[in-house]
Amino acid sequence: MGFDLYLVGIKLFDGSVILFMVLGVVLGLIVGALPGLTATMGVSILVPLTYSLSPTAALMMLLGIYCAANYAGSISATLVNIPGTPSAVMTTLDAYPMAQKGQAGRAIGLATLSSALGGLFSVFTLALFSPLIASVALKFTSLEMFLVALWGISIMAYVSPGSTLKGLISGFLGLLIATVGFDPLTAAPRYTFGSVYLSSGVQFIAVMIGLFGVSEILLNIEKNHKGTKQELFKVEKSFESLKEVKGLWGTILRSSVVGVIIGAIPGAGGTIASIVAYAQQKRLSKHPEELGKGAPDGIAAAESANNACTGGAMTTLLSLGIPGDAVTAILIGAFVLHGLQPGPFLFEKHFDLVSAIFIGMAFINILFFLFGMFGAKYFARLLFLPRAVLNTGILSLCVIGTYAVQSSMFDVGVMLLFGVIGYLMSKQEIPRAPLVLGLILGPLMEENFRRWIGLAHGKYLTVLRDTYTKNPISIVLTILVVSTFLLPLFQKQKKVTEDASKYIAKETRKE
């Protein structure tokens, strides 16, 4: 592989790829700046649009939405005290007070710069570590692959806000839904009820659009969130904040490391990363009393951490095929839509595409930095859009987008069904992301589970003993899975995720 991995992808960047990458960044900024719309929703409803694009153009557009939306949550957090995306909750604490002091431009500048630096740091770690992890993962046996997938689901269930048990239920429901269709080994129909539409399984893009697009809009409609009437602060002199970076290097670097590590944990995501980084900053700061009153290091910690998550989440996605958060779970759907399977084999079969992803993500961070510095005030104007019109447009996009994937009205029905299911799940405080992860990892888990059973020839205990004595990776993975299942029994409260959900609930009530 060598250094080629960092250069060979350049040849894939033609005019159309660059155009769709820029379009993705702009769409991401729009999605992120509007409270109620999240990166997860944006990516899920726009996946079908990429159907006719080349895999590189499609992935660049979706990654553009992902990274830019993660940053743009800070725009409304600064200007109207409402985080545009959940991951901008901690930014609100310092960016809004700073804006109230007449320094909205400074706050936007700091958030933009910290986000871009956090993002770039995460791309660097992605490029450095994902090939190494992939080379180890290539040696995994079927039992180990099964354990990796099971660990992915269990950790996502554990990290999701609320009860771990509900997270596990959601994940296992996803695994069960993934069994619908012809059995991959014997071609026997399973749960198809004689329907030809179900013989190839449940279309996961329809499920994702339903769970994250329609249900999210239904929840927004229920809250009756109408655009803001609040006057926006003037965004001026944002470039002057660049001079402050000298004093914030330590904070940005530390928080970026936190972001990358948390991003790599399936299900953790930007919200938790920004909370952890902010708490860490408060502990290490020389003036902890200033945090929450418009401190620049508060903004830098929260923003660099939540954007550094993108590279962390992509590391496990590219090297193991296990997504780090809900958005990367949806990105797997986009990979599959274009005939690609993320995981260690991607580095062997689509070496140039992996390289293009590294290069593209670096450019995306630079692009949103430029758009943010020059255009944040224009994206902020979107807050005045009437919500009724916006929600209607998104719902229509969900219907047409789902139809477009296979020209199938059956898929539209599936999407609507999962829209209602997702809405009910939210009302019952059952996380939706583990269901999508289960649906995506289901085939991988079943294939490896049955392959292992087949290879064991009935001598399961002997084969297990051999595997554990010869291979330490199996032991580590088993400990990880078992401890994730048992951890909730020994912990009264999931501190960080509980704090995050409480804070989000408080902010939502404020709206």
Partner 1 sequence: MNKDRVNGLVVFGIGVLAYWGSQGFNRREAALSENPALYPQLLALVLCVFGVALAIQGLIRKESSKQAPRGERTGVQRSLYVVLTLVGYAVGIYLFGFILPSLLFMFGVPILLGASRKTAFLVSVPLTIALYVTFFLLFKVPVPQGAIFR
Give start and end residues of each alpha helix (H) in 338-459.
346-349, 351-380, 387-406, 409-427, 433-456
Q: Is 176 in the site for partner 1 (CB under 8 A)?
A: yes
Q: Is 440 in the site for partner 1 (CB under 8 A)?
A: no
- Min CB(408)–partner 1 separation in Å: 10
Choice between 116 and 214, CB closer to partner 1: 214
The correct pick among 4, 7, 386, 506 for binding partner 1 (CB under 8 A) is 386
Q: Is 183 helix (H, G, I), strand (E, B) or coil?
A: coil
Choice between 297 and 507, CB closer to partner 1: 507
- Min CB(16)–partner 1 separation in Å: 11
Choice between 240 and 429, CB closer to partner 1: 429
The correct pick among 245, 397, 463, 464 for binding partner 1 (CB under 8 A) is 397
CA distance 176 to 182: 13
> Tokens at residue 404, please?
């477009």
The CB density around residue 57, as the number of other CB atoms within 10 Å, is 24
Report the interhelical angle of 249-264 vs 269-284 (nearest 10°): 140
List the x/- string, 400-419, binding to partner 1 by CB under 8 A. xx-xx--x-x--xx--x--x
Q: Is 485 in the site for partner 1 (CB under 8 A)?
A: no
CA distance 467 to 144: 9
The correct pick among 216, 446, 499, 507 for binding partner 1 (CB under 8 A) is 446
Q: Is 287 helix (H, G, I), strand (E, B) or coil?
A: coil
Q: Is 166 in the site for partner 1 (CB under 8 A)?
A: yes
**Cβ distance 439 to 210 under 8 Å?**
no
The correct pick among 7, 10, 454, 465 for binding partner 1 (CB under 8 A) is 454
Do the strands 181-182 and 189-190 form a parallel or antiparallel pair, or are they unpaired? Answer: antiparallel
Question: Smallest Cα–Cα separation from 79: which of 243, 200, 228, 185?
Answer: 228
Q: Is 396 in the site for partner 1 (CB under 8 A)?
A: yes
Kindly report the CA angle at 475 between 470 and 477, in degrees rounded to 5?
A: 130
Q: Which amino acid is at 210?
A: G
Q: Is 334 in the site for partner 1 (CB under 8 A)?
A: no
Choice between 293 and 451, CB closer to partner 1: 451
Choice between 184 and 250, CB closer to partner 1: 184
CA distance 307 to 288: 23
Please name the residue that has the structure tokens 């993975």: 477
Choice between 78 and 215, CB closer to partner 1: 215
The correct pick among 423, 432, 433, 439 for binding partner 1 (CB under 8 A) is 423
**Cβ distance 150 to 445 under 8 Å?**
yes
Question: Smallest Cα–Cα separation from 430: which of 240, 102, 157?
Answer: 157
Which range touches partner 1 (CB under 8 A), out of 98-106, 235-243, 371-379, 444-452? 444-452
Q: Is 186 in the site for partner 1 (CB under 8 A)?
A: yes
**Cβ distance 28 to 272 under 8 Å?**
no
- Min CB(39)–partner 1 separation in Å: 20
Neighbouring-strand partners of residue 190: 181
> Tokens at residue 22, please?
């820029």
Q: Is 459 in the site for partner 1 (CB under 8 A)?
A: no
Q: Is 222 in the site for partner 1 (CB under 8 A)?
A: yes
The correct pick among 6, 124, 239, 449 for binding partner 1 (CB under 8 A) is 449
Choice between 127 and 412, CB closer to partner 1: 412
The correct pick among 420, 475, 476, 479 for binding partner 1 (CB under 8 A) is 420
Distances in whole angstroms, Cα of residue 12 to Cα of each of 7, 55, 119, 182, 335:
10, 10, 22, 36, 16
For residues 3-30, one letter each, b for 16 or more C-beta atoms within 10 angstroms of the residue's C-beta and e for the rest, the string is eebbebbeebbeeebeebbbbbbbbbbb
CA distance 203 to 416: 12
Q: Is 52 in the site for partner 1 (CB under 8 A)?
A: yes
Q: Is 458 in the site for partner 1 (CB under 8 A)?
A: yes
What residues line the site for partner 1 (CB under 8 A)?
48-53, 163, 165-166, 168-169, 172-173, 175-176, 179, 183, 185-186, 188-191, 214, 217-219, 221-224, 226, 386-389, 391-393, 395-397, 399-401, 403-404, 407, 409, 412-413, 416, 419-420, 423, 428-430, 446, 449-451, 453-454, 458
